[in-house]
Amino acid sequence: MRVLIVGAGIGGLTTALSLHAAGIEATVVDAAGELRPLGVGINVLPHAVRELTELGLGERMAALGIETAEMVHFDGRGGRIWGEPRGRALGYDWPQYSVHRGDLQMVLLDAVRERLGAGAVRAGTACEGFEEDGDVVRVRLRDRTSGTVETVETDVLVGADGLHSTVRAALHPGEGAPRWNGIRMWRGVTEGEPFLTGATLAVAGSNAAAKLVVYPIARRDGGRQLLNWVAEVKIPDDRLSEFADWNRAGRLEDVLPHFADWTFDWLDVPALLSRTDRILEYPMVDRDPLPSWGRGRVTLLGDAAHPMYPIGSNGGSQAVIDARVLAWELARADSPEKGLAAYELERREKVNTIVLACRDMPADRVLHTVSERAPGGFERIEDVLSAQELETITGAYRQTSFSDVAALNARPSLTP
């Protein structure tokens, strides 16, 4: 069986590694002329770290990022509202890592080239469409340098081509642009001194107004760290006027005014934002969950299948799990069609639920309540929120990000 994967992001590359581990031949094409370590920080949940560890990448992951110890919510004045351990500290057998997205992509790319061969990933090659013909899928690929188009035959086609997926558009025509919820996100990375535990994922404010997410993603000389931040601001006009592009440059003067007085005793937010060399801007978009992902010998994976708001650390993590389940099901099915159907059955409803839970943001509603009830800050959070309201935050994360700890620890491996 030969599998052609469109997209060399975290999803596509993990699919290639997973198929290889299952004894299935795979090739990856990516439209980008050169695969460079783009993006900023992401969190990789224990569920996905388990899969990457079982692919033999545990040590590289540990060397790459910071093992996330806790997640803590604060109000917009830096007062602590709620916190919970993360990863192994919460009881998982695998850690949670905060990493640079581009560095993780490069670790996966190196592993694919080492294991599948130097030619297994073709950059500068865009998928333009496909035809299904019995047991064969004919895929049109354009060489972006020469402009020539060739048609290649494959047994299985996997669209791992992200938010603006060509494969998804062919399978589900007429979907239109992604849906925007009116929140603009600015992102950046910059060096700084460790804050709080040095391994804290901190969230301050709420999406009803302005919110900041900040966490360390790498160690630097002299005990310093590379700090990742995402600043999210709700804009009254919710018509999305620009193309959602992960590489679009943002401007300090657009984001700084919303955080000008966010100087906490544990972090100076205006200073953090101001010393960032390169700020990126992205609208918080997703797409409606699909009633089906693929058909026959063609399927979708990662953001192409289920783009979601980048909250709750699920974008990259769910793509990794998709990849492993896809390989597992293809390896044990007696036909590619049955393997892809089993993959979709196992994954689609689970991930669609996460897409909708990310939209619902129940934790955020509670955080907003704090700013309404205690606009000037608080001494004790118990005077502002009931125990039940605080429990809502815990429950929200369990729903969007964490399957039960014991269930993950006990589940058999997906290595065929």
Ligand X SMILES: Cc1cc2nc3c(=O)[nH]c(=O)nc-3n(C[C@H](O)[C@H](O)[C@H](O)COP(=O)(O)OP(=O)(O)OC[C@H]3O[C@@H](n4cnc5c(N)ncnc54)[C@H](O)[C@@H]3O)c2cc1C
**Residues near ligand X, by CB under 6 A:** 6-12, 29-32, 38-40, 42, 101, 126-127, 160-162, 166, 187, 246-247, 302-304, 310, 315-316, 319
Q: Which is nearer to ligand X, 12 or 79 (CB)?
A: 12
Q: Which is nearer to ligand X, 70 or 232 (CB)?
A: 232
Q: What's the min distance (Å) between Cβ of 316 and ligand X?
A: 4
Comparing CA positions, the residue from 254, 248, 261, 263 lying closest to residue 233 is 254
Element (H, E) at 402: none
Q: Which is nearer to ligand X, 7 or 76 (CB)?
A: 7
Alpha-carbon gap, residue 289 to 271, rounded angstroms: 39
Neighbours of 88 (CB within 10 A): 16
Alpha-carbon gap, residue 325 to 322, rounded angstroms: 5
Q: What's the min distance (Å) between Cβ of 203 and ligand X?
A: 14
Q: What's the min distance (Å) between Cβ of 376 and ligand X?
A: 33
Q: Which is nearer to ligand X, 43 or 371 (CB)?
A: 43
Burial 281-291 (b: 16+ CB within 10 A, else e): bbbbbbbebbe
Q: What's the min distance (Å) between Cβ of 295 and ligand X?
A: 19
In the chain, what is the greatest distance between 2 CA atoms, to the nearest angstrom? 68
Q: Which is nearer to ligand X, 321 or 374 (CB)?
A: 321
Q: Which is nearer to ligand X, 30 or 329 (CB)?
A: 30
Q: What's the min distance (Å) between Cβ of 72 and ligand X?
A: 20
Q: Which is nearer to ligand X, 9 or 79 (CB)?
A: 9
91 Cβ contact partners less than 8 Å away, ≥ 6 residues apart: 405, 406, 409
Q: What's the min distance (Å) between Cβ of 130 and ligand X?
A: 11
Q: What's the min distance (Å) between Cβ of 259 and ligand X?
A: 19
Q: What is the DSSP letter of 158?
A: E
Structure tokens at 190: 């910059």
Q: Which is nearer to ligand X, 10 or 363 (CB)?
A: 10
Q: What's the min distance (Å) between Cβ of 304 and ligand X?
A: 6
Q: Which is nearer to ligand X, 126 or 208 (CB)?
A: 126
Q: What's the min distance (Å) between Cβ of 211 and ligand X?
A: 15
Q: What's the min distance (Å) between Cβ of 175 and ligand X?
A: 15
Q: In this structure, are residues 226 and 216 in contact, taking their beta carbons and an 8 Å threshold?
A: yes
Phi and psi angles of residue 49, each rounded to the nearest 5 degrees, phi first? -60, -40
The four Cα atoms 351, 353, 357, 359 give a dihedral, to 10 degrees, of 80
Torsional sign, CA 249, 11, 101, 141: negative
Alpha-carbon gap, residue 285 to 176, rounded angstroms: 13
For 147, counting Cβ atoms within 10 Å of its Cβ (0-12 exposed, 13-18 middle, 19+ buried), the class is exposed
Q: What is the DSSP letter of 304?
A: G
The four Cα atoms 265, 271, 275, 276 give a dihedral, to 10 degrees, of 70
**Interior angle at CA 128, CA 125 and CA 134, nearest 5:** 110
| CA distances for 90 relative to 4, 215, 320, 362, angstroms | 38, 18, 21, 21
Q: Which is nearer to ligand X, 3 or 304 (CB)?
A: 304
Quickly list H helices, 190-278.
Answer: 252-255, 269-274
